[in-house]
Each structure stands twice: as C-alpha cells, then as structure tokens.
Structure 1
C-alpha cells in the first residue's frame, strides 16, 4: 500500500487525526460539566460498552450522545512541498438528556450558558464552536419502575478538520525535447 503520491495506490492521512470516539466524548463531557456545573460522575456518554450505572432516583444527571457528523461537501486543498492538506468543516450533532428533580433547571442553565461568549471561547480552545440548539423537550422516562424527569435538548457544534496526505508537489520534471 502506498502512502504518498510517488507510487500508485490508496493514500491514508499522515500525521495526527482530530479527536473522535472516546476522545471527542471526553471533550464534550468537560464542556457540558463546565456549562452546567454538574459533577464529573454525573455527566457521561450514552451507548457505551460497558454502560455506566444509572444514578439513583432523586439525583440530577446528564447523558449525552453524538447522533451524527456531517462534513462539508467541498473540502479545500492546500499544497505544501511534502504534503497536501485537506481542509473541511464538520457539524457534530448531539442529544443531551438531563434527568432528575433538577433536570429542567439544569437543561435551561445549559441552554442559556451556550450563548455566553466566554463559554464558547473555552470550547474554541479544543477546536469546537457552538452552532445552534433546539428547543427543550419534556420526555419523562420510566427507569426501574419509577418515572424520572427527563429534558432533552439537541445541539450542533462545528469544527475545522485538517488532514494531511502524502501528495508531493511537482518541483522537478525530467523533460526531453526531440525534433530538429
């Protein structure tokens, strides 16, 4: 398999990749905790293996999930001497579910905190920015045969993705002229 343009074959990115999976979930968890003031043990990603233990009834907590990632359709390419950079932007869609007796309070605190410039500045430090949010939905959930208050809000974040590929710049081409 080739990893630069000097030989035929598929190219994979070289260098560091942006955070995805658990790394991205940790960044998002820190952001949610920072904006809501919830303790680290009370904010965690959904749909993980192993699944975290659900807090006892009477505790306010948050579970979040990444529901989609949409990339722009037309990335830009910036040619360097050794590599080519592919620049694109992603929209990361999230669902945040706030549970417990203070679920609505925490959900509205989070929603309002999204619009505070300093909170977005902190998010910018990890390469993300707030794009938009949806309305808060009241969706009580039956957990362990008990109704638990639950308030959901959807949020979209954006980020710039730069991937490097081993596409070499043409700096010297052997040319042979023939004729008269």
Structure 2
C-alpha cells in the first residue's frame, strides 16, 4: 500500500515524529530534576497505571502531569519535490505539584530556574522552550489521614512540530494547448 500522493487514500506522516507519551514525560522529568536538584526517585508522573507508591511523610517530592496540548490553528505547508512538510506550533501545559516539608522551597527554586537562559537552552536541545508559568498555589493535601504540604505551579512550554507527508510535487502534466 502506497503512502504518498501518487495513489488515492489517506496519508500518514513519514519520517521521525516528535516525542509524546512516555518519551515526552521523561524529558519533562529530567528538566524538573535539573532545575530543582531533586533525585530521580522523588519526581513522578502524576497519572500512571498502576499508581506509583508515594514517598513516606516527611519527604519532599514532585508529581507532574501533562494537563493539555494545544496546537495553533492553520499549519503551514512547505512543498518539496518528493514530499511536503506541515509546520505547526504546540503549547504544552504542565502541572507540577511539589509536596513535603520543603515543598515551597522546591517550587520557588523551580520557578526561578525557569527563567535562567542556560536552563532554557537545555530545553531547546529537545525542541522545547519556556512560554510562561502561572502563580504558585498552596494546596495542602490529605494523604493517608495526614495533611501534607503541597504547592502547585502550571508551566507552559512551546515547540515547533514538523511532520513530513509523501505529497509529490506536480512536475509535468500531459496537457496540450490548441489555438493561438
């Protein structure tokens, strides 16, 4: 079955695709750890199946989740001879929840680290960049009948998405012109 415009039917992207799912979550986890100094074993994806065992009370830790992905309207199409590229931009909303006795220290360290250009340069190596961050909310949570400090912040990242499709350029057409 052909996956180009020489035959009718649906086209799927060819070539490499951007990171999504666990690959994107691993990038975000490394970014959070890099800005806060938290160890790998205390930075978790927020919504998993099965749910990860949370640390014991008295531990400072972070849970994060991708809350939404918004693509800009009207992607651009760049036609080449053998394929076309679709260019668009995505905004990725990430909810970060910092728990424990040093939760406020960690969330403010994270927030301040967002705006250090060298930290954003590390994100850019993975085709991501900081768009903005929201305010910090103090939202204590009852876990195992104990109140645990919790501080939430939402961060928005941007990235350019390029998908390649097998749309061939029209090079010649069997057309004859008659008359003057």
**TM-score, normalised relative to structure 2:** 0.97
Residue aligned with 1:38, SS: coil
- RMSD across aligned positions (CA): 1.2
Contact 1:65 1:96 in 2 (8 A): yes
Q: Residues 60-75 of structure 1: matches in 2 within 5 Å?
A: 60-75=60-75
- 1:124 aligned partner: 124
Instruction: Describe how 1:85-100 pairs up with structure 2 within 5 A.
Output: 85-100=85-100
Match of 1:80 in 2: 80
CA distance in 2, matches of 1:162, 1:179: 45
Q: Where does 1:13-24 land on structure 2 (aligned, <5 Å)?
A: 13-24=13-24
**Equivalent residue, structure 1, for 2:168:** 168
Once the two structures are superposed, what CA deviation does each residue of 1:58-93 show, in whole Å capped at 9, x if it has no partner? 000000000000001011111111110000000000
Partner of 1:8: 8
1:31 aligns with 2:31: yes
User: Is contact 1:44–1:64 with CA below 8 Å preserved after alignment?
Assistant: yes
CA drift of 1:176 comes to 2.9
Cα distance in 2 for partners of 1:31, 1:172 equals: 50
Q: Which residue of 2 aligns with 1:107?
A: 107
Partners of 1:23 and 1:53 in 2: how far apart? Answer: 21
Distance 1:51 1:30 in 2: 20
Secondary structure at the counterpart of residue 33 of structure 1: helix
Where 2:82 maps in the other structure, the secondary structure is: coil
Q: Indicate if the aligned counterparts of 1:2 and 1:10 stay in contact, CA closer than 8 A.
A: no
Shift in Å at residue 177 of structure 1?
Answer: 3.8
1:36-55 to 2 correspondences below 5 Å: 36-55=36-55
Deviation (angstroms), 1:179: 6.3
C-alpha displacement of 1:127: 0.6
Distance 1:174 1:49 in 2: 57
Q: Name the TM-score, length of structure 1 as normaliser.
A: 0.97
